[in-house]
Amino acid sequence: MSDKDKMSADRLAALAGQASNYLAKATERVVVVLMAVLVLMVWLGIMVRYFVDLPITFTEEASRYLMIWVALLAVSIGISKRSHIGVLTVFDMMGRRMQRLMLLTIDITAFSLFAFLFFYSFGMVEKGWSRVTMIYFIPKSIPFMIVPVATALAAVQIVLSAMRDQFGGFVEPGASQSDI
């Protein structure tokens, strides 16, 4: 590889890493806000159930949907930092070239899965327009929309992380936050 090609690959890796970090930070902010609302919603549900006799029944359903949104959005954050669950015993015994190949194989497989889920989630969202939630009586498509959003976000993070790791700034899975 020539010096010019190496510089281009390093630049591409740096841009992909920056884009991945920016997207992860923005997603983290959304997740923090949703978690705060979730905690408040659960506390409100506890208060009205056990301490204050108010006919507030929406907290359980809102908490359920908020938890699903938080969990699905957090997937892309884990992907960007390569901090999702994995077994590193075999990975650590490989050389750097084999590690990159293994990561690329996993990235292609994961991208295929998320692309499949993204494509087929639109059918679920479409069918949700004809059903309503138990308490809010809103179309179920509204809470179901997180599936295409989260799978698209995860797929983008996989592509950015793969570019970062394959073209330069290799992030070893299982590395601590300070190592990244």
- DSSP designation for 34: H
Give the pLDDT of residue 169: 63
Condensed to tens digits (0 to 9), the pLDDT of residues 124-179 reads 999 989 888 877 788 888 889 999 999 999 999 999 999 988 887 666 665 644 54
Distances (CA, A) of 45 to 31, 48, 63, 130, 135: 21, 5, 9, 28, 14
CA angle 180, 167, 115 (to 5 degrees): 85
Q: Where are the domains positioned within the chain?
A: 3-179
**Contact status, residue 23 vs residue 76, Cβ threshold 8 Å:** yes
CA end-to-end span of the chain, whole Å?
A: 26
**Contact status, residue 146 vs residue 69, Cβ threshold 8 Å:** yes
Half-sphere exposure of 80 (CA within 13 A, CB side): 22
Please determine, for residue 180, whether its predicted confidence score (pLDDT) is greater than 50. Answer: no
CA angle 112, 23, 158 (to 5 degrees): 20
- Max CA pair span of the chain: 74
Condensed to tens digits (0 to 9), the pLDDT of residues 91-104 reads 778 888 888 898 89
**Contact status, residue 125 vs residue 148, Cβ threshold 8 Å:** yes
Listed in sequence order, the DSSP H helices in the chain are 3-50, 58-81, 89-93, 96-128, 141-144, 146-167
Condensed to tens digits (0 to 9), the pLDDT of residues 8-67 reads 888 888 899 899 999 999 999 999 999 999 999 999 988 888 888 777 778 888 899 999
Question: How many angstroms separate the CA atoms of 132 and 96, rounded?
Answer: 51
Query: Would you call 177 helix, strand, or coil by DSSP?
Result: helix
The position carrying tokens 């159930």 is 49
